[in-house]
Chains A and B, each alone.
Chain A
Amino acid sequence: GAVVSQHPSWVICKSGTSVKIECRSLDFQATTMFWYRQFPKQSLMLMATSNEGSKATYEQGVEKDKFLINHASLTLSTLTVTSAHPEDSSFYICSATDPNSPLHFGNGTRLTVT
């Protein structure tokens, strides 16, 4: 079946640095990908919708300048957390939509900012 690959699965970075997370659809083309964030013991919340070839759509309260999203091809979307701070430590997960099957999720990336 269709698979979404997310990389890295975990990352530790120092405060003030930037981190890039990749989300790839392995055997289908995804014109739309979604990025979610989950804080400990909280629900998965949608951050932004990534559209191939156009600007991402951010949910209310999500800083677009801090969470840069690039969807340069039909199989790759990247999320860059810029100038990361400890409060950005979280679990980030992407999902992609395949016209033939509704939902595919990456395995998530655990970001820890020290």
Chain B
Amino acid sequence: SQELEQSPQSLIVQEGKNLTINCTSSKTLYGLYWYKQKYGEGLIFLMMLQKGGEEKSHEKITAKLDEKKQQSSLHITASQPSHAGIYLCGAASGGGADGLTFGKGTHLIIQP
């Protein structure tokens, strides 16, 4: 079965600094999703990447997909308190969407 490893597990960053979260898959990535969650709230969809080399941005968050490395990275520029939360990557195990495999999440804390 496919496994996703996220790193780091937790991250404390000073406000205004940049940061990167990585998600590495044990198998070929057919689609990679990034979500954000705050404690006690549901998942918030951020981005979906489907093609190797694809890069998408949403406000100050950019995600890239390296198909060869079976890896995706999420980069936040000039972090803000609103970026705090848990970032979760999820991957499709096949060509369809027969369930997603998720990483364990990266807990991001922004220090003022």
Contact = CB atoms under 8 A, between A and B. Distances in A.
Contacts of B31: 41
A108 B43 contact: no
Q: Classify the secondary structure of A's interface with B.
A: strand
Interface stretch (A12-20, A21-29, A44-52, A72-80): A44-52
Interface size class of B (residues with CB under 8 A): 20 to 34
B37 to A, nearest CB: 6
Q: Which of B39, B43, B104 has the most CB of A within 10 A?
A: B43
Contacts of B44: 46
B69 to A, nearest CB: 22
B100 interface: yes
Interface string A29-60: 00010101011111111100100000000010
B99 A97 contact: no
A91 B97 contact: yes
B88 A103 contact: yes
5 contacts: A34-B42, A36-B43, A46-B43, A97-B39, A97-B40
A105 interface: yes
Interface residues of A, number: 24
B19 to A, nearest CB: 18
B105 to A, nearest CB: 6
B41 interface: yes
Given A97-B39, A102-B39, A44 B98 contact: no
In the A-B complex, the 10 residue pairs with the smallest Cβ-Cβ separation, listed nearest first, are: A46-B42, A34-B42, A40-B97, A102-B86, A108-B99, A43-B48, A43-B45, A41-B97, A40-B96, A43-B33
Contacts of A107: 99
A110 B98 contact: yes
Interface string A75-114: 0000000000000000101010100001101011010000
Q: Which of B92, B96, B97, B105 has the most CB of A within 10 A?
A: B97
Contacts of A97: 39-40
A103 B102 CA distance: 10
Contacts of B43: 34, 36, 44, 46, 95
